[in-house]
Chain A
């Protein structure tokens, strides 16, 4: 079996899920509208903070313009946040359709991984495009350039950012896979989701740049896996990490992808050995 044939099932699963999710235009528009609204609020909060003197120290690590760009980036990349398992997997576990996934002559983890990656990518791309059109193009055109999404520090920073977002997508998929496996074991996704949401939104840097959190935590905040979802791509965007530091940051993302995939595979194997198929 050649490499193309080997990859065929997984590519097909990714593409099919991707195309299927792209059909849901209303969901994409609604998500985009919500994200603009929240983005606007966060931008105004930042502006209020920066106009006071209370966080003069923080202002030195990030300017207001950067904080605003950071906010639009965070809103655009919001679906990278792994606080929700793939709803198809949750439904399959509840109804017992998971049995059919076990009937495919492919690596079961890789099949779900490809499908979940397609699910995330298909929601990510339209939202990023809409957010860029709104915050980077439309806002300056109507004279609100101060509130706009600005270009990356330089071309190299932009390229590093894009690579890092791709790694962030894989990292997010590996984390969603853990939620998928936990959902399959527990038959329900709500409890897991309730715990995951606040943890993810804070430690990924999506709520606030991690650089604004206490100095004593900085090393720990940077090496923990959630930083690879948004904080590392954003630091690359602003050129705060460059040269060897940039490579090390990308390497750290790769390390967490490998570690979480290994852990996810082990957890899935255990869950499947004691699988019960629901509904007769």
Chain B
């Protein structure tokens, strides 16, 4: 029995429309126009206990909608969702007691309350045992470096501080499942690293099942064993990150710096020349036909070489190419 089971999930929204300008506004007074948008049109996947899954896709692909359905906020229009045997919408109260959710674009803490007071309020709302709460809170405060912000009102926190406080707030009741919707959006590099590090520990050490959406592919590389690419409300791919990279990008790239006085070869067997710049030659090759060690040995044997670097295509480029292949970029 998987921890999270999603079967043929569908959700549509009604979007109101009107033509721009005065004429459009006046016409809108007489006649309302609506368009139905399919946010999810038949999404299926399963997640085992303790898994960490990354959810990626262009803006408007349906990632957040899926998270909102899985967390019981929205009612699906079709299909089946089961989380630990519960129907999230029908069993809402029982369901949400066992999950933690962070929406990177919103705040669940009370704007005018100090962070610590907000935590205490959540303790009462989740009916957490006071002793247990103190232990969990102190642990989270230490791990997320929140000691100095506990008595500051939320509105005065920096974005990085706030996001760390949000994550702590989502875990005070020790949930089995953590849903993170763009948890690193807008954060600086150290804050991103801190968030990633924490999520990884929560997943490994406590066995929390994690589902996160992101546009930052470094989040995916650093965290997820498995990634689901979603576009136009459908699952386009569901595979390990490396498999996705291989599927999109058969080619690898070799960058060779030649010695000062060496002459650069015009051609290299088993590779195509991508570009040349001074003493640097950039080669593309297909590792299935020419294994990288053989290629490197061939070049190093024939020429005076200072440095050789093997580059994978950056994950950003992989994903952009993948979206383009499936025509999934946002309309």
Contact = CB atoms under 8 A, between A and B. Distances in A.
A104 B105 contact: no
Nearest to B93: A105
A116 to B, nearest CB: 15
Contacts of B73: 99, 102-103, 275, 277
Contacts, number: 76
Q: Which of B94, B106, B113 has the most CB of A within 10 A?
A: B106
A20 B94 CA distance: 29
B45 interface: no
B97 A105 contact: yes
B309 interface: no
A23 interface: yes
Given A9-B124, A13-B121, A97-B107, A103 B72 contact: yes
B75 interface: yes
A99 B72 contact: no
Q: Ordered nearest first, which 4 A-B pairs have the shortest CB separation?
A: A12-B124, A105-B97, A9-B125, A100-B108
Contacts of A276: 13, 74
A1 interface: yes
Given A9-B125, A103-B71, A104-B125, 16 more contacts: A5-B127, A9-B127, A12-B124, A13-B121, A23-B112, A97-B107, A99-B103, A100-B103, A102-B73, A102-B92, A102-B96, A103-B101, A106-B93, A107-B93, A277-B74, A279-B106
A89 to B, nearest CB: 14
Contact of B113 (A11, A13, A16): A16
25 contacts: A1-B127, A9-B124, A9-B126, A9-B127, A12-B121, A13-B121, A16-B110, A16-B117, A20-B112, A23-B112, A97-B107, A99-B103, A100-B108, A103-B72, A103-B73, A103-B99, A103-B108, A105-B93, A105-B126, A106-B93, A107-B93, A273-B75, A274-B75, A277-B68, A277-B73
Determine the main DSSP class of A at the interface with B.
loop
A16 to B, nearest CB: 5
Contact of B106 (A9, A13, A95, A102): A95
Nearest to B109: A100
B64 interface: yes
A122 to B, nearest CB: 13
Interface residues of A, number: 29
Contact of A280 (B64, B94, B96, B117): B64
A277 B68 CA distance: 9
A279 B105 contact: yes
Nearest to B117: A16
Interface string B110-132: 10110001001100111100000
Contact of A97 (B106, B113, B121, B126): B106
A99 B73 CA distance: 6
Interface in A49-103: 95-97, 99-100, 102-103
A276 B68 CA distance: 10
Given A12-B125, A104-B125, A105-B97, A280 B92 contact: no
Nearest to A95: B106
Nearest to A274: B75
A185 to B, nearest CB: 13
Contact of A20 (B59, B97, B106, B113): B113
Interface string A1-22: 1000100110111001000100
A240 B232 CA distance: 68
Given A16-B113, A99-B73, A105 B108 contact: no
Contacts of B120: 12
A280 B39 CA distance: 11
Nearest to B95: A105
Contacts of A8: 124, 127
A107 B108 CA distance: 18
Given A99-B68, A99-B103, A20 B74 contact: no
Given A5-B127, A97-B107, A280-B64, A104 B112 contact: no
Interface string A266-280: 000000011111011
A91 to B, nearest CB: 9
A107 B110 CA distance: 19
Contacts of B71: 103
B273 to A, nearest CB: 44
A20 B124 contact: no
A95 B105 CA distance: 10
A276 B72 CA distance: 13
Contacts of B101: 100, 103
Given A99-B73, A104-B96, A106-B125, A20 B110 contact: yes
Contacts of A95: 106
Contact of A275 (B74, B106, B126): B74
A146 to B, nearest CB: 44
Contacts of B96: 102-105
A105 B112 CA distance: 23
Nearest to A92: B106
Interface string A96-140: 110110111111000100000000000000000000000000000
Contacts of A100: 101, 103, 106, 108
B105 to A, nearest CB: 7
A95 B107 CA distance: 10
Interface in B56-108: 59, 64, 68, 71-75, 92-94, 96-97, 99, 101, 103, 105-108
Nearest to A6: B127
Interface string A137-162: 00000000000000000000000000
